[in-house]
Structure 1
Amino acid sequence: MVQTTGVSVKTASVVARATRCRLAKVLRLATTSPMDRLLLLAVLLAACAERPETDALVVLLDSAPESLDPRRGSSAVETRTQQLLFRGLVHLSDDLSVKPDLAQSVEIEHPGRLRVHLRRDVRFHKCFDDTKGGMLKAEDVIYTYESLRDPSVESRKLNIWADLKAVTAPDLKGHIVDFELQKDLPNWLEGNGTLGIIEKSCAEKDPKAFARHPSGTGPVAFSRRVADREIHFQRFDTTLAFEKLILRVVKDENTRILEMLKGRSHVLATTPARPLLAVLARKDELKLLSQPGLGYSYLGLNLEVPALRKKAVRRALALAIDRPGIIKHKYLGLARPSVGMMPPQHWAHASHLEPMVPDLRQAAALLASVDYRTNPDLLDDPTGNDERKVLRLELRCTPEKASRALALVLKGQLHRIGVEIDLRVNDFSSLFQQVKRRNFQMVRMEWTEVRNPMLLEWVFHSHFIPEEAGPSCRHHRDCPGDYQGGNETTERYSCTAATCSKEACGVGCERTRETDQCQAVEEGVCRRAGGNRGSYSPHFDDNPQLAQNSRRVDELIDQARGLSGETARKPLFDEIQTILADDLPYISLWHEDRVWVVNARWENIVLKPSGSFLGLLSATRSVP
């Protein structure tokens, strides 16, 4: 009855507004006095305009989250939106240390087994069929993690099962969950415990309906979605000062700015183009919030290129780049030079390291020392410089204006020491595919967020060099290494063929007549995933020092994986970053700041380093 009444009132309001609009058009013709006509039109036409939600906080985004299901979406905007709806066993604080969330406590029962004690006071949102949400139980956690392996879920987070053997509970209706791991990984929850927990009884009723109308335990509950234009949420945490939260997607930047200037939206949660910030800062009705971000911009180097395997060349390139100048003129000061992947506010940041200072003379001397021609004006003794070979390298970038402009700046700065750069422009999808295949020499890229320090393993451990093993396959068990369940072998190979199971023999799969098993129709290849696309490894026989440093980084990362707590691991991460800052398999550039634009009438909004939308929840609206 309440829902029906609400719909009726809303419908009546729309009809009344339309009637007033039609009446205004009639009066425009019927009223003879120009002054009367203007007065009537001013009153009545005002009613035709869409009235903003007075009890809602409206937030502008530049792209829509494709999925609100925490098992599927993995992009930055998806993760931030899911955090509003769902909570995980743990969460990352502002300094990126791990804190309990739905977990009351975590015990390491013995190596390879984590016991999680759940909070007993957590209730789920209302289900899509309007039934009351239940209390959090062990079966909900088990179902969430187990369902990642269900092909119908199409999860992008199957890697969670790479080191996970089983998730069990002494009592499914109880509040204890046990995670059995393939090996001793005391920090496993740091990277895998933030997965949003869903209610088993709700999701199993109708998986498609749940995907359209998800429900979790977060501070706001899903209300409705208007295509890819708007997502509406209702207050679930009663301490919130606003009733509704609306995420509005506007892809055009000029339109987003107009929305803010006209007051139709209250927060622009996408950093505007740098030239616009100075203009927006002068508007009394707006205020800018800025926060050092967690992103990391770098120049990736492919060490398979003989020239880039020389440390003198890598260091010369790093010394030639004027980071402070680029930050001042291209980023208007809203970035900080970086010394490595970990941003300065991260607990694992190596605070003893200093950003590299540009030094063209030292860069030129380094090039000359390995027989490359350089700018003779930078050499103390240019004798023989003309006889040396020119160092020519290829730099990949994307076609966007900002990306190309920055690539041209880097090209110009490297030209000052005699390095010739050929720009290769690719759309991001093509560029990323080439980088994953290690088909590049240099590329400027960025990590939008660096949260987990074990990202160093993905990027620099030699076991994470992406490659194809060669043999064809129909299942992961056909690939090198022991298959123990999940989606990878022990050597982290997976099969590119369709994922099939006897229970879910879907698209790309077929049943065999002999065994009634389900297998992929087309064969795939065994491929090892990894982020070490520059091939930093101990296998370079022609460069013993590079091989030795890489081997030491592998050892330190392996040690860090086996330790628990920040205090025990911090010295290891410090040494890893010290080696990388000296060896330069990546050339670190900067950490860019985040900027939000906020309507001045809204207060207490907190811009978090991660850009998390949870900083919106403290918002209050001032009384005019």
Structure 2
Amino acid sequence: MNRSMSRAPARDRAGPANPAACAVRGRLGVVLVLVSLLIGACTAPDPEPVDAPLRLALISPPRNLDPRLATDAASERVNRLLYRRLIEFDERSLPVPSLASWEALTPTHYRFTLGEEGRVFSDGTRLTAADVVATYRSILDPASLSPHRATLSLIASVQSEAPEQIDFHLDAPDPLFPAYLGIGILPAARIEAGHGFARAPIGSGPFRLIDWPEPARLRLERRRDGQPFELIGVRDPNVRVMKLLRGEVDMLQNDLSPELIGYLRRRDEVRVERRDGVNYSYLGFNLEDPSTGRNEVRQAIAAAIDRDAILAYLFQGGARPAAGLFPPTHWAGADFEVPPHDPAGAQAWLARIGHGPENPLRLIYKTSSDPFRLRLAAVIQAQLAAVGIDLEIRSYDWGTFFGDVQAGRFQLYGLTWVGLRTPDIFRYAFHSAATPPDGANRGRYRNDQVDRLIDTARQEPDLEIQAELYRQVQRQILRDLPYIPLWYEDQVFVARREVEGYRLAADGNYDGLERVARTAPIAARTIASRD
């Protein structure tokens, strides 16, 4: 796997007062010229019929189509199309029935009863309670190495006495238990046979996999009407835009710079939709590192970051400041105070440990090689330089970068939690018992009070009391800063005019593909060739 390493140029402390604006203006012309050149060099393809494959271009393709094992956002979004789950979530992120309804017979005994919808696997066999039992037993098997095992470890047993009923017995009460069961169900016979779901998924979802001819191209079929789809990985955002305007792909979702979004809004042949997002972007720290393990360093970084400038000039209004992992509309969310921009305070924090402009603290920041993420890293680098932190940026292809984060090979990094629904994220990411491989506490954060609050909240039957306990967890996390909260990025969907019916989700899932359609053949177009 190739690894690229670069150090972004340091900013002079007496340089531009607004580095975010400088970063945007310095690259805006380059981006638009590149797009113009790419488009001008090509000629439009021949028209395609209405029933031709609908093509969605992604920044990266899925890596694992086994819902028990997938951890990257692309895989989880595609798995939502291929598999059905016992539960779904409402607008407040509370669980509601999907494959099954449920009742709590006792605080530690839940009985799920299967409904009629979504009960046929893509291989033609019928989904029964035995499949649910086999799926969850396989996750709980230590040999499976499933990342969901830690969250579901409270399950003492799962069994079925009837084809339509599944009984979960828990080690301890947990009123939110049904919310943990959002994992796709696999056929028991295939599990027992050792079938390779990661590359050959078999689920009862609205889509089935037709072919995976190359890593960056998947062919799906919508089961209700046979409409073919292609999901195509195209890493470069300029190339994704070129392909959309040429009609080589029909849809794009997210991972576009604000300049490209603005450019697409001015094109008559495409439509741009936008909505508030709920995915949480943050800076993560290694708390076992001698530098980033110090609270003074994390407080200084939090105070040095000017979110308002970044959101105004780099995101151009396409994101909202975040303080908690959940937005205020979530049942466990609240209007927490966003860490304020305070350069003098940042310098004071650094001075306590002997650092400042004359003796800068040197840190390494890891990020992906996506151009927009590199621009964002450069702006953060400039803001930290102004208070006495020399930030070295190291960028990697996605697989290498995420592998380093999972393995704990970092001082600090930037990432986004996608699709957060339930407060079990606090146990998964912050409980001291959830360090890898038992969870995603990759920074090795440990706080006894947080552990107690999480453990207490998990057993609290009253939802309002439970919500307040989780708010206390979030307040303590804001004091300790194992994560520095950044923002919730907007969701953006771009499609050709002849494509309609897509509903954009706040968490960026691809469920809108269930209803999207091409309403007319792609019209013939002529694009002038570049001399």
Q: Same fold (TM over 0.5)?
A: yes
The aligned amino acid for 1:81 is V
Counterparts in 2 of 1:168 and 1:265: CA distance versus 1, 3 Å: same
Percent of residue pairs identical: 31
1:357 to 325, 340, 350: 340
Q: Identify the residue that residue 275 of structure 1 maps to in structure 2.
A: 259
Q: Identify the residue that residue 392 of structure 2 maps to in structure 1.
A: 423
Alpha-carbon distance, 1:558 to partner:
0.8
Q: Identify the residue that residue 522 of structure 1 maps to in structure 2.
A: none
For residues 409 and 231 of structure 2, what CA distance do their matches in structure 1 show? 39
Q: Deviations over 1:68-119 (max 9, x none)?
A: 3333433222221121121110123344321110112x22223432211111
The aligned amino acid for 2:204 is T
The aligned amino acid for 1:532 is N
Counterparts in 2 of 1:404 and 1:604: CA distance versus 1, 3 Å: closer
Alpha-carbon distance, 1:206 to partner:
6.5
1:561 to 419, 442, 458: 458
For the 8 Å contact 1:52–1:264, the answer to whether it is kept is no
For the 8 Å contact 1:393–1:422, the answer to whether it is kept is yes
1:531 to 424, 435, 440: 440
Q: Identify the residue that residue 184 of structure 1 maps to in structure 2.
A: 173
Secondary structure (helix, strand or coil) at the match of 2:452 reads: helix
For the 8 Å contact 2:50–2:520, the answer to whether it is kept is no
The aligned amino acid for 2:252 is L
Q: Identify the residue that residue 61 of structure 2 maps to in structure 1.
A: 64
Q: After superposition, where does 1:188-337 map in structure 2 within 5 Å? A: 188-191=177-180, 193-200=181-188, 203=190, 208=195, 214-228=201-215, 230-237=217-224, 243-304=227-288, 311=295, 313-337=297-321
Q: Which moved more, 1:440-449 or 1:610-619?
A: 440-449
Larger RCO of the pair (alpha carbons < 8 Å, separation 6+): 2
Counterparts in 2 of 1:53 and 1:339: CA distance versus 1, 3 Å: same
For the 8 Å contact 1:350–1:573, the answer to whether it is kept is no
Alpha-carbon distance, 1:214 to partner:
3.8
Alpha-carbon distance, 1:293 to partner:
2.8
Q: Which moved more, 1:317-326 or 1:142-151?
A: 142-151
The aligned amino acid for 2:111 is R
For residues 56 and 149 of structure 1, what CA distance do their matches in structure 2 show? 38
Secondary structure (helix, strand or coil) at the match of 1:319 reads: helix
Which stretches in structure 1 are left out of the alignment for 5+ residues?
1-45, 376-388, 467-527, 538-549
For the 8 Å contact 2:237–2:255, the answer to whether it is kept is no
Alpha-carbon distance, 1:569 to partner:
1.7
2:426 to 442, 456, 466: 456
The aligned amino acid for 2:259 is P
Structure 2 residue 392 is the aligned partner of structure 1 residue 409: no
For residues 234 and 345 of structure 1, what CA distance do their matches in structure 2 show? 35
For residues 406 and 416 of structure 1, what CA distance do their matches in structure 2 show? 16
For residues 449 and 227 of structure 1, what CA distance do their matches in structure 2 show? 27
Counterparts in 2 of 1:185 and 1:278: CA distance versus 1, 3 Å: same
Alpha-carbon distance, 1:286 to partner:
0.7
2:475 to 546, 558, 578: 578
Secondary structure (helix, strand or coil) at the match of 2:490 reads: strand
The aligned amino acid for 1:358 is H
Alpha-carbon distance, 1:461 to partner:
2.1
For residues 184 and 406 of structure 2, what CA distance do their matches in structure 1 show? 29
Structure 2 residue 70 is the aligned partner of structure 1 residue 81: no
2:112 to 93, 97, 116: 116
Counterparts in 2 of 1:397 and 1:52: CA distance versus 1, 3 Å: farther
TM-score by length of 1: 0.67
Alpha-carbon distance, 1:244 to partner:
3.5
Q: Identify the residue that residue 4 of structure 1 maps to in structure 2.
A: none
For the 8 Å contact 1:124–1:199, the answer to whether it is kept is no
For the 8 Å contact 2:53–2:228, the answer to whether it is kept is yes
For the 8 Å contact 1:397–1:404, the answer to whether it is kept is no
Q: Deviations over 1:361-396 (max 9, x none)?
A: 34344545x364657xxxxxxxxxxxxx83513132
Q: Identify the residue that residue 35 of structure 1 maps to in structure 2.
A: none
Q: Identify the residue that residue 498 of structure 2 maps to in structure 1.
A: 601
For the 8 Å contact 2:131–2:188, the answer to whether it is kept is yes
For residues 284 and 149 of structure 1, what CA distance do their matches in structure 2 show? 52
The aligned amino acid for 2:249 is S
Q: Identify the residue that residue 91 of structure 1 maps to in structure 2.
A: 88
Q: Which moved more, 1:328-337 or 1:81-90?
A: 328-337
For the 8 Å contact 2:327–2:334, the answer to whether it is kept is no
The aligned amino acid for 1:363 is A
1:54 to 43, 51, 56: 51
For the 8 Å contact 1:141–1:197, the answer to whether it is kept is yes
Secondary structure (helix, strand or coil) at the match of 1:140 reads: helix
Counterparts in 2 of 1:464 and 1:266: CA distance versus 1, 3 Å: same
Counterparts in 2 of 1:552 and 1:93: CA distance versus 1, 3 Å: same
The aligned amino acid for 1:556 is L
Secondary structure (helix, strand or coil) at the match of 1:189 reads: helix
Alpha-carbon distance, 1:315 to partner:
3.0
Secondary structure (helix, strand or coil) at the match of 2:364 reads: strand
Counterparts in 2 of 1:313 and 1:250: CA distance versus 1, 3 Å: closer
Q: Identify the residue that residue 526 of structure 2 maps to in structure 1.
A: none
For residues 64 and 94 of structure 2, what CA distance do their matches in structure 1 show? 27
Secondary structure (helix, strand or coil) at the match of 1:557 reads: helix
For residues 81 and 116 of structure 2, what CA distance do their matches in structure 1 show? 20
For residues 552 and 69 of structure 1, what CA distance do their matches in structure 2 show? 36
Counterparts in 2 of 1:72 and 1:434: CA distance versus 1, 3 Å: closer
TM-score by length of 2: 0.78
For the 8 Å contact 1:393–1:442, the answer to whether it is kept is no
For the 8 Å contact 1:120–1:175, the answer to whether it is kept is no
Alpha-carbon distance, 1:301 to partner:
3.4
For the 8 Å contact 1:94–1:608, the answer to whether it is kept is no
Alpha-carbon distance, 1:157 to partner:
4.7
Q: Deviations over 1:13-47 (max 9, x none)?
A: xxxxxxxxxxxxxxxxxxxxxxxxxxxxxxxxx9x
Which stretches in structure 2 are left out of the alignment for 5+ residues?
1-42, 522-531
Alpha-carbon distance, 1:196 to partner:
1.3
Alpha-carbon distance, 1:296 to partner:
2.4
Counterparts in 2 of 1:440 and 1:146: CA distance versus 1, 3 Å: closer
Matched length: 476
Secondary structure (helix, strand or coil) at the match of 1:354 reads: coil
For residues 341 and 152 of structure 2, what CA distance do their matches in structure 1 show? 44
Rg comparison, structure with higher value = 1
For the 8 Å contact 1:124–1:215, the answer to whether it is kept is no
Q: After superposition, where does 1:437-586 map in structure 2 within 5 Å? A: 440-465=410-435, 529-537=438-446, 550-564=447-461, 566-586=463-483
Alpha-carbon distance, 1:215 to partner:
3.6
Q: Identify the residue that residue 168 of structure 1 maps to in structure 2.
A: 159
Secondary structure (helix, strand or coil) at the match of 2:51 reads: coil
Q: Deviations over 1:309-367 (max 9, x none)?
A: 6655543332221111112222222122111222344332222x232331223434454
The aligned amino acid for 2:381 is K
Secondary structure (helix, strand or coil) at the match of 2:104 reads: strand
For the 8 Å contact 1:250–1:256, the answer to whether it is kept is yes
